[in-house]
Structure 1
Amino acid sequence: MLTYDELTGPERELWDAFPEGRRVDLRTGVAEEDRVAGGGEWGPGRTVRAAVIAALLLGAHATERPGAVGSLALTGARISGRLDLAGARIDHPLWLEDCWFEQGVNLFGAETRTVAITGSRLPGLEAGSTRIDGRLDLRDSLVTARSVFSFHPEITALSLIHAHVSGGIVLNGAELSAPEGWALSAGGLVTEGGVFCRRGFVAHGEVRLPGAQLPGGLFMKGARLEGRPGSRGVALALDSAVASTLNFSGGFTANGTVRLRGTQVSDNLTFEDAFLNGTPGNSRAPALIAMHLQAVDFDLTLARPPSGTVDLRGAQVSNLHENEHSWPQTVELDGFVYGSIKTAGANGERREAVGDRESVARRVAWIRSSPGYSPQPYEQLATWYRKAGHDDDARRVLLARQRHRRRALAPAARVWGHLLDVTVGYGYRPWLAGVWLLALTLLGTAAFDAGSPTAVKRGEGAPFQPLVYTLDLLIPIGGLGQRTAWYWTDGTLQWLAYALIAIGWILTTAVIAGVTRTLQKN
């Protein structure tokens, strides 16, 4: 146990100030001398042992004075030794500002009040399984991974695995540096007041929050994430997390994959004006993985197209917001469900772009960027057009689906598909059948008018009429009496008659299918 006589001058000042919660400021007032980056050169007049801080927080000088609340508030100090408070129960807030730590801070399994280490430099903070009744504030601090804690299998700058913070976590302006490991490891984190990584927040290494519970949201507006190098270049892993809001806007930059697999967002997920760069030098690596994501508003109005693929398989959103930069060359869309699509214009206005062929063509190209063929993205887009009252656009999408599907068929089936396409547009353009019928009627009438047919029974039946005869061949239902009364000795005209009969059956079948689709709104 430390005694008062063993304390240095700065430590005695801190000891005396603790019961009243007074701040001890060891700065000189000279900007050059007070730069935290040079804290390793600060001498004994600005040095406080970590053991003294731990002793005060653990009750070594807990004398309460009337009208005062004890807390430890220290500014501009060099902290020597490791501040080890693992498993401790701490009833006093900790406020450290502009301090330089010789070794890391260990709060593993502790129960504590607010912990604020702002504007400081420290080699690692272990706060796994910690319960903080208040907030964790690391604003403008640099947390590196030079100190490796035995509790963690990876090199980690800030560990909050299974931590519970009743207030918020403030990392605005902070820098977490573990280029070959995890800048932030917070799997299973629960924080009720939100996580704030704004105003120049930078992470070198992977930011991990799998399974995190974030009812207050995660705010990374303007943040920059430098993922792990190489094939494991993940910048942000937020798999299976639950959050009210995820804000990656205002110039948010991810040099690595952003992974949101199975994440549930009860309100807004936004990447407005963000940069999703994927893994530098690897365009096939995913820039965004959001498989089975659930969100109300999903804003993907990026500042420029993603450098890697976007995977939205199985995702469900109520409102999708996009712009000209939203989609890369490859997008995985199988199972992606949305209630509406709104496109952001040059003036920032957002509207549902329906009712024009250019819009349909662009969205069909969006679907075709998916590897392979899947009918669901086409059906989903057609459903949206139909709900918006644009049945013609829905039919264009479904026609594009059939054309895409044709590529995967056997050669004979592809030939048949081409025939259905040019004749009736797979039934989605039944008016084409009328055009073909008119053209074939004119062709047959002209050809048969130039020939001399032979009567099946001489002197019986109606006289030969080329127009009526052609219509009798083309229309397979019923009969006009011409086809059974006349035949041709001219082989060419007889084969033409057979061809018109076959084409008539094809066109009639296609027309029936097209009318059925129209009536069924499919």
Structure 2
Amino acid sequence: MLTYEDLTEPERQVWDAFRTGAVVDLRAGSVAEDDPARGAAWGAERTVRAEAVAAVLLQAAEQGGAATALRLTGARISGQLDLGGTRSESELRLEACHFEQHVVLRAASLRSTGLIGCWIPGLDGWLLKVDGNLFFEDSVFEGRLTLTRAQISGELRLSGAQLTATELLGPDAVTPRGLHAPGAGSAPGPWALWAGGLRMEGGCFARKGFRSRGGLRLVGARFDGGLFMERARIDNPDGDALTGDDLTASTIVLSEGFAATGAIRLPGATVRSRFSLDTAVLDGGAVALDGSRLSAGDLQLTFAATPVGTVDLQDAQAAVLQDGEHSWPADTRLDGFAYSSIQLPPGGPEPVARRLHWLARLPGYAPQPYEQLAAWYRKIGHDDDARRVLLEKQRRRRRTLGPAGRLWGRLLDVTVGYGYRPWQAALWLAVLALLGTVVFAHGTPHEVQPGQSAPFSPLIYTLDLLVPIGGFGQRAAWYWTGLHQWFGYGLIAAGWVLTTTVLAGVSRSLNRS
């Protein structure tokens, strides 16, 4: 371990300033020259060895004085900063620094830590524990950022950070987490942030300017303070932009122009309050949003444009659903999606036709989405709209039946609207009665028993033919021959069909109510 005598002049400045928490600023004062991406060219006057940073952080307090914080700006950190498995009670804050090698914080226990505005070839924070905040604002990661099963009691700030996924090449690069190793090359990889099982007590902020070239893996992560990614951009066109199976969060905000190339996958995730995709742009290719089994309080799917790819909300749950004209792509899957309420637009309920158009996007017949929507219409007192939705459900189901089933379904639809429009039966009865009256008013009927029949009435005779049960006496007293006789047979058949469909439709309606 290094001693004070082993330190260079810049390193001794860091050592001396550590006891008071003062900032050591090694910047030259030129914006271009102080760019951390160009830090490999910085000279010895701006170079601090990684082992010296570790020595100061871990030993300076023991050498005398109460340790407060290590604050260093504008330095080239040579070698590998390895704090794996260590414990520190002091704050670490490195700003505008250039790291030659990836940072190792694996299984470390640290106080508030910040690598802000730095250029970093990757960071291994597997099992890291931070008592306080972890800041990476405006930093550039040219390698994977790993926070698998890390625990952070404060906030995680990634706003303005630039992440680029890389996979390692060469025998020296074979590590469990695929981070940069000495002598290894790199190639584009799928995951820029690997943070499965991350535990956040505070919020995670990856806002305005955050960009990831590679996916974010947040499987099983917990964000008690919420996940906020307004105006962020994630590009992983050949894979998933964000994967968060069984993720838990108080709030997720992917809004204000949030853009993702690659799928957003949150199957089984729980968002206790608001999950917002307001004005988001999703281009997932095959799958834009996989929210199967998702549970959310307020689900806002008011995208800026119709997502490219499937929106899958099968077996999802939401207390309140907010959607808009761009919410539902051609391939929308809603079977099992349950919601307590739909946010109404300004001015009151929207036309039911728009909701039916929404359900028409389903790739196949599934009764639950129709029944769910009808239940909501009943809840707000729109019984007519509920019946229209259920009628459309039966029409959609009819397409799945065989020829006989489709024919019977059409009869039910035309006559009584599957029981949801019983007034259609009365309309058919009136039309047939009028037609029969006109036809039987022209011509001369024959008495069954001459001189013993009541006077002939075209209207009553027609009704007698149409109503198969009971009778008004006309049908038994009078008969026709020729075309009138065949027309009468047609009315009898129509009466039986009408009666049968009325009974079937009413029975179906009662069973579904």
Question: TM-score with structure 1 length normalisation?
Answer: 0.90
**Residue aligning to 2:176:** none
CA RMSD of aligned residues (A): 1.9
When structure 1 is superposed on structure 2, of 54-63 and 8-17 the one drifting more is 54-63
Tell me if structure 1 keeps the 8 A contact 2:365–2:397: yes
Identity %: 54
Letter in 2 for 1:269: F
The whole-number CA distance in structure 1 between the counterparts of 2:428 and 2:449 is: 32
**Residue aligning to 1:494:** 485
**Residue aligning to 1:225:** 234
The whole-number CA distance in structure 2 between the counterparts of 1:254 and 1:343 is: 28
Are 1:272 and 2:281 an aligned pair?
A: no
**Residue aligning to 2:175:** none
Are 1:377 and 2:369 an aligned pair?
A: yes
The whole-number CA distance in structure 1 between the counterparts of 2:62 and 2:452 is: 125
Tell me if structure 2 keeps the 8 A contact 1:49–1:80: yes
**Residue aligning to 2:179:** none
Residue 470 of structure 2 aligns to a residue whose secondary structure is: coil
Residue 38 of structure 1 aligns to a residue whose secondary structure is: helix
**CA distance 1:352–1:187, change in 2 (3 Å):** farther
Structure 2: which 5+ residue stretches go unaligned? 166-187
Letter in 2 for 1:14: V
Question: In the TM superposition, what whole-angstrom CA distance separates every residue of 1:16-57 from its partner, at most 9, and x where no partner exists?
Answer: 222222221111223232121211110000000001111222
Tell me if structure 1 keeps the 8 A contact 2:298–2:318: yes
Are 1:177 and 2:164 an aligned pair?
A: yes
Tell me if structure 2 keeps the 8 A contact 1:268–1:296: yes
Tell me if structure 1 keeps the 8 A contact 2:419–2:509: no
**CA distance 1:505–1:202, change in 2 (3 Å):** same
The whole-number CA distance in structure 1 between the counterparts of 2:64 and 2:205 is: 34
The whole-number CA distance in structure 2 between the counterparts of 1:199 and 1:62 is: 41
**CA distance 1:412–1:520, change in 2 (3 Å):** closer
**Residue aligning to 1:338:** 339
350, 353, 358: which one aligns with 2:349:
353
223, 236, 247: which one aligns with 2:242:
236
Alignment of 1:351-500 (within 5 A): 352-354=348-350, 359-490=351-482, 492-500=483-491
Tell me if structure 2 keeps the 8 A contact 1:56–1:62: no
**Residue aligning to 2:185:** none
The whole-number CA distance in structure 1 between the counterparts of 2:20 and 2:264 is: 46
Tell me if structure 2 keeps the 8 A contact 1:310–1:332: yes
Tell me if structure 2 keeps the 8 A contact 1:342–1:352: no
Tell me if structure 2 keeps the 8 A contact 1:430–1:510: no
Residue 190 of structure 2 aligns to a residue whose secondary structure is: strand
137, 152, 155: which one aligns with 1:165:
152
Q: CA deviation at 1:463?
A: 3.1
The whole-number CA distance in structure 2 between the counterparts of 1:372 and 1:32 is: 58
Letter in 1 for 2:385: D
The whole-number CA distance in structure 1 between the counterparts of 2:347 and 2:146 is: 43
**Residue aligning to 1:507:** 498
The whole-number CA distance in structure 2 between the counterparts of 1:455 and 1:167 is: 99
Question: In the TM superposition, what whole-angstrom CA distance separates every residue of 1:199-227 from its partner, at most 9, and x where no partner exists?
Answer: 21001101010111111000000100111
**CA distance 1:72–1:351, change in 2 (3 Å):** farther
Question: In the TM superposition, what whole-angstrom CA distance separates every residue of 1:256-314 from its partner, at most 9, and x where no partner exists?
Answer: 111111111110011111111223xxxxx111111011111011111111122211111
Alignment of 1:140-151 (within 5 A): 140-145=138-143
Letter in 2 for 1:222: R
Tell me if structure 1 keeps the 8 A contact 2:418–2:508: no
Tell me if structure 2 keeps the 8 A contact 1:108–1:126: yes
The whole-number CA distance in structure 1 between the counterparts of 2:162 and 2:323 is: 31
The whole-number CA distance in structure 2 between the counterparts of 1:139 and 1:169 is: 9
Tell me if structure 1 keeps the 8 A contact 2:109–2:128: yes
Question: In the TM superposition, what whole-angstrom CA distance separates every residue of 1:319-359 from its partner, at most 9, and x where no partner exists?
Answer: 11112121212211111111222255xxxxx46524xxxx2
Tell me if structure 1 keeps the 8 A contact 2:14–2:56: no
The whole-number CA distance in structure 2 between the counterparts of 1:60 and 1:21 is: 12
Q: CA deviation at 1:519?
A: 7.1
The whole-number CA distance in structure 1 between the counterparts of 2:190 and 2:328 is: 30
Letter in 2 for 1:472: D
Structure 1: which 5+ residue stretches go unaligned? 146-156, 280-284, 345-349
Alignment of 1:187-202 (within 5 A): 187-202=196-211
**Residue aligning to 1:137:** 135
The whole-number CA distance in structure 2 between the counterparts of 1:89 and 1:253 is: 38
The whole-number CA distance in structure 2 between the counterparts of 1:161 and 1:336 is: 31
Residue 343 of structure 2 aligns to a residue whose secondary structure is: strand
Tell me if structure 2 keeps the 8 A contact 1:122–1:144: yes
Tell me if structure 1 keeps the 8 A contact 2:112–2:134: yes
Residue 132 of structure 2 aligns to a residue whose secondary structure is: coil
Question: In the TM superposition, what whole-angstrom CA distance separates every residue of 1:371-404 from its partner, at most 9, and x where no partner exists?
Answer: 1111111111111111111111111111111111
**Residue aligning to 2:121:** 123
The whole-number CA distance in structure 2 between the counterparts of 1:262 and 1:441 is: 59
Question: TM-score with structure 2 length normalisation?
Answer: 0.92
**CA distance 1:61–1:273, change in 2 (3 Å):** same
Q: CA deviation at 1:452?
A: 3.4
The whole-number CA distance in structure 2 between the counterparts of 1:5 and 1:63 is: 13
The whole-number CA distance in structure 1 between the counterparts of 2:108 and 2:423 is: 75
Letter in 2 for 1:101: F
Tell me if structure 2 keeps the 8 A contact 1:342–1:353: no
Count, aligned residues: 491
Q: CA deviation at 1:422?
A: 1.9
